[in-house]
Chain A
Amino acid sequence: MEIVLSTAIGILTASGVWLLLRPRTFQVIIGLCLLSYAVNIFIFSMGRLTPGAPPIMPKGGFINPAAYADPLPQALVLTAIVISFATTALFLVVMIASRGVTGTDHVDGKERDE
Chain B
Amino acid sequence: MIEQNLILILIGLPFIAALITASLSVNSHTAAAWVSGLSMAGALAVLMALHDRIVTGEVLRVTIPWVPSIGMNLTFRLDGFSWLFVALVLAIAILVVIYASYYLSRSDPVPRFYSFLMAFTGAMVGMLISGNILMLVVFWELTSVISFLLIGYWHQGQAARDGARMALIVTAAGGVCLLFAMLVLGQIVGSYDLDRVLAAGDLVRGHRLYPLVLGLFLLGAFTKSAQFPFHFWLPGAMAAPTPVSAFLHSATMVKAGVFLLVRFFPVLGGTELWFYAVTGTGMATLLLGAMIALFRHDLKGLLAYSTISHLGLITALAGIGSEGAILAAIFHIMNHAVFKASLFMAAGIIDHETGTRDMRRLSGLIRFMPVTGTLAIVASAAMAGVPLLNGFLSKEMFFAEAVDWHNGTWLDDAMPYLATISSIFAVAYSLRFIHTVFFGPAPVDLPREPHEPSAWMRRPVELLVLVCLVVGILPALTLGPALNLAARAVLGPDLPYYDIAIWHGFNTPMIMSLLALAGGTVLYLVFAARIAEGPEGPPLLHRIRAQKIFERMLLALSWKWPRALHKLTGTERLQPQLTIIVVLAIVLTTATLWQTVQITDRPRSNPFNIAFALMWVVGAACAIGAAWQAKYHRFAAMMLLGGAGLVTCLTFAWASAPDLAVTQLLVEIVTTALLLLGLRWLPKRREEIADDKLLPARMRRMRDLGIAAIAGLGMAFLAYIIMTRPLIPNVGDWFLRNAYYEGGGTNVVNVILVDFRAFDTFGEITVLCIVGLTVFALLRRFRPASESRSSPDQQKDIHAANLRDYLVVPSVIMRWMFPVMIVISAYFFMRGHDLPGGGFSAGVTLAIAFLLQYMGHSVRWVEARLTVLPIRWMGVGLLIAGATGVGAFAFGYPFLTAHAQYVSVPLIGKVPAATAMLFDTGVFALVVGATVLMLIAIAHQSLRSARLREQEASEAAAEAASGPTEREAV
Assess the A57–B634 pair: CB atoms within 8 A: no
Assess the B708–A15 pair: CB atoms within 8 A: yes
A59 to chain B, nearest CB (A): 6
Contacts of B578 in A (CB 8 A): 20-21, 28, 107
Assess the B720–A1 pair: CB atoms within 8 A: no
Contacts of B736 in A (CB 8 A): 57, 63, 65, 68, 71
Contacts of B271 in A (CB 8 A): none
B502 to chain A, nearest CB (A): 79
Contacts of A69 in B (CB 8 A): 655-657
Assess the B719–A30 pair: CB atoms within 8 A: no
Contacts of B641 in A (CB 8 A): 30, 33-34
Q: In whole angstroms, what is the CA distance A72 to B663 when docked? A: 16
User: Which B769-791 residues have a C-beta within 8 angstroms of A?
Assistant: 771, 774-775, 778-779, 782-786, 788
Assess the B663–A81 pair: CB atoms within 8 A: yes
Assess the A78–B630 pair: CB atoms within 8 A: no
Of B516-524, B535-543, B645-653, B811-819, the stretch lying at the interface with chain A is: B645-653
Assess the B658–A55 pair: CB atoms within 8 A: yes
Assess the B631–A1 pair: CB atoms within 8 A: no
Contacts of A72 in B (CB 8 A): 730-732, 735, 752
A40 to chain B, nearest CB (A): 7
Interface size range of chain B in the complex: 35 or more
Contacts of B788 in A (CB 8 A): 99
Q: In whole angstroms, what is the CA distance A68 to B660 when docked? A: 15
User: Which A19-62 residues have a C-beta within 8 angstroms of B?
Assistant: 19-31, 33-34, 37-38, 40-42, 44-60
Assess the A88–B634 pair: CB atoms within 8 A: no
Q: In whole angstroms, what is the CA distance A107 to B714 when docked? A: 26
Assess the A11–B657 pair: CB atoms within 8 A: no
A30-B626, A57-B748 known; A71+B735 contact, CB < 8 A: yes
Assess the A1–B605 pair: CB atoms within 8 A: yes
Look across to chain A and name the residue whose beta carbon is closest to the beta carbon of B741.
Answer: A60
Q: In whole angstroms, what is the CA distance A17 to B586 when docked? A: 11
B506 CB–A CB distance under 8 Å: no
Assess the A26–B682 pair: CB atoms within 8 A: yes
B654 CB–A CB distance under 8 Å: yes
B793 CB–A CB distance under 8 Å: no
Q: In whole angstroms, what is the CA distance A3 to B605 when docked? A: 9
User: Which B663-693 residues have a C-beta within 8 angstroms of A?
Assistant: 663-664, 667, 670-671, 674-675, 678-679, 681-683, 691
B669 to chain A, nearest CB (A): 11
Contact pick for A85, options B671, B709, B712, CB 8 Å: B671
Assess the B716–A2 pair: CB atoms within 8 A: no
Contact with A along B625-650 (1 / 0, CB 8 A): 01100110010011001001101100
Q: In whole angstroms, what is the CA distance A24 to B753 when docked? A: 37
Contacts of A56 in B (CB 8 A): 746-747, 834-836
Q: In whole angstroms, what is the CA distance A56 to B740 when docked? A: 11
Q: In whole angstroms, what is the CA distance A47 to B784 when docked? A: 46
Assess the A17–B607 pair: CB atoms within 8 A: no
A7 to chain B, nearest CB (A): 6
Contact with B along A73-93 (1 / 0, CB 8 A): 111011101110111111011
A70-B732, A72-B732, A79-B760 known; A108+B573 contact, CB < 8 A: yes
User: Which B570-629 residues have a C-beta within 8 angstroms of A?
Assistant: 572-575, 578-579, 582, 603-609, 612-613, 616, 619-620, 623-624, 626-627
Look across to chain B and name the residue whose beta carbon is closest to the beta carbon of A110.
Answer: B573
Of B415-423, B488-496, B721-729, the stretch lying at the interface with chain A is: B721-729
Q: In whole angstroms, what is the CA distance A45 to B761 when docked? A: 21
Assess the B606–A51 pair: CB atoms within 8 A: yes
Assess the A40–B711 pair: CB atoms within 8 A: no
A12-B644, A15-B626, A92-B674 known; A55+B657 contact, CB < 8 A: yes
Contacts of A1 in B (CB 8 A): 605-609, 612
Assess the A100–B784 pair: CB atoms within 8 A: yes
Contact pick for A31, options B627, B739, B771, CB 8 Å: B627
Q: In whole angstroms, what is the CA distance A18 to B709 when docked? A: 8
Contact pick for B716, options A7, A19, A54, CB 8 Å: A7
Contacts of B713 in A (CB 8 A): 10, 14
Contact pick for B840, options A4, A60, A82, CB 8 Å: A82
Assess the B735–A20 pair: CB atoms within 8 A: no
A30-B637, A46-B722 known; A55+B659 contact, CB < 8 A: yes
Q: In whole angstroms, what is the CA distance A11 to B737 when docked? A: 36
B966 CB–A CB distance under 8 Å: no
Assess the B627–A74 pair: CB atoms within 8 A: no
Q: In whole angstroms, what is the CA distance A52 to B647 when docked? A: 18
Contacts of A34 in B (CB 8 A): 623, 626-627, 641, 644
B414 CB–A CB distance under 8 Å: no
Q: In whole angstroms, what is the CA distance A112 to B571 when docked? A: 13
Assess the B712–A17 pair: CB atoms within 8 A: yes
B198 to chain A, nearest CB (A): 61
B54 CB–A CB distance under 8 Å: no
Contacts of A37 in B (CB 8 A): 623, 644-645, 648
Contacts of A8 in B (CB 8 A): 616, 619-620, 647, 651
B899 CB–A CB distance under 8 Å: no
Assess the A11–B604 pair: CB atoms within 8 A: no
A15-B626, A33-B641 known; A94+B746 contact, CB < 8 A: no
Assess the B660–A77 pair: CB atoms within 8 A: yes
A75 to chain B, nearest CB (A): 4
User: Which B832-853 residues have a C-beta within 8 angstroms of A?
Assistant: 834-836, 840
Assess the B746–A100 pair: CB atoms within 8 A: no
Look across to chain A and name the residue whose beta carbon is closest to the beta carbon of B715.
Answer: A13
B767 CB–A CB distance under 8 Å: yes
Assess the A12–B623 pair: CB atoms within 8 A: yes
Assess the A100–B771 pair: CB atoms within 8 A: no
A17 to chain B, nearest CB (A): 4
B733 CB–A CB distance under 8 Å: yes
Contacts of A40 in B (CB 8 A): 648, 664
Which of A46, A48, A78, A99 has the most C-beta atoms of chain B within 10 angstroms of its own C-beta?
A78
A6-B717, A50-B655, A93-B779 known; A27+B630 contact, CB < 8 A: yes
Contact with B along A96-114 (1 / 0, CB 8 A): 1101110111011100110
B938 CB–A CB distance under 8 Å: yes
Q: In whole angstroms, what is the CA distance A73 to B739 when docked? A: 15
Binding site for B on A (CB under 8 A): 1-31, 33-34, 37-38, 40-42, 44-60, 63, 65, 68-75, 77-79, 81-83, 85-90, 92-97, 99-101, 103-105, 107-109, 112-113
Binding site for A on B (CB under 8 A): 572-575, 578-579, 582, 603-609, 612-613, 616, 619-620, 623-624, 626-627, 630-631, 634, 637-638, 641, 644-645, 647-648, 651-652, 654-660, 663-664, 667, 670-671, 674-675, 678-679, 681-683, 691, 704-705, 707-709, 711-720, 722-725, 727, 729-733, 735-737, 739-741, 746-749, 752-753, 757, 760-761, 764, 767-768, 771, 774-775, 778-779, 782-786, 788, 834-836, 840, 927, 930, 934, 937-938, 941
7 closest A-B pairs by beta carbon, nearest first, are A10-B716, A14-B712, A18-B708, A65-B733, A6-B720, A15-B627, A1-B606
Could you show 11 A-B contacts with beta carbons less than 8 Å apart?
A: A2-B604, A14-B712, A17-B712, A27-B631, A30-B637, A42-B719, A56-B836, A71-B736, A71-B752, A77-B657, A90-B771
Q: 11 more A-B contacts (CB under 8 A) besides A13-B711, A24-B631?
A: A10-B717, A13-B712, A20-B578, A21-B579, A23-B575, A25-B682, A30-B626, A47-B732, A50-B656, A51-B609, A74-B657
